[in-house]
């Protein structure tokens, strides 16, 4: 297999990692970054279509999902992970 395409980043696990969990959050975050960097990644940030968002089958509300989008973008910037913003209208 040469490529795998997913609808969300592996690094959402990094974002969801909580300090008060039953695991060592610092080590888990380090592990997630190590695994992420062990592969060649292409990260595309797509705008969220607010008009068509449905809660069905999702954990987050639209507002919560947008908050996670921002956190993921901030993580990419903080960790100097290359990402490309892409709009379907381009």
78 Cβ neighbours under 8 A, 6+ residues apart? none
Residue 38 lies in a domain: yes
The tokens describing 59, both together, are 């954990």
75 inside domain = yes
Q: Considering the entire predicted model, what is its pTM? A: 0.82
84-85 and 44-45 as β-strands: parallel, antiparallel, unpaired?
parallel
Number of domains within the chain = 1
**Residue 44 domain boundaries:** 12-85
The 10s digit of each residue's pLDDT in 33-85 is: 999 999 999 999 888 877 888 888 888 888 999 999 999 999 999 999 999 98
**In a domain? residue 64:** yes
The reply to whether 53 falls in a domain is yes
Residue 78 lies in a domain: yes
Residue 1 falls within a domain, yes or no? no
Q: What is the pLDDT of residues 4-39, one digit of tens each?
A: 888 788 899 999 888 887 888 899 999 999 999 999
Within a domain: 5 = no
Contacts of 42 (CB under 8 A, 6+ apart): 84
């Amino acid at each position: 297999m040469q490529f795998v395409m997913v609808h969300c980043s592996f690094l959402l696990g990094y974002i969801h990692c909580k300090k008060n969990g039953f695991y060592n959050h610092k080590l888990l975050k380090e592990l997630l970054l190590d695994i992420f960097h062990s592969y060649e990644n292409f990260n595309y940030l797509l705008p969220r279509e607010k008009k068509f968002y449905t809660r069905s089958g999702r954990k987050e509300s639209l507002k919560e999902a947008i908050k996670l989008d921002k956190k993921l973008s901030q993580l990419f910037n903080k960790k100097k992970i290359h990402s490309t913003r892409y709009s379907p209208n381009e």
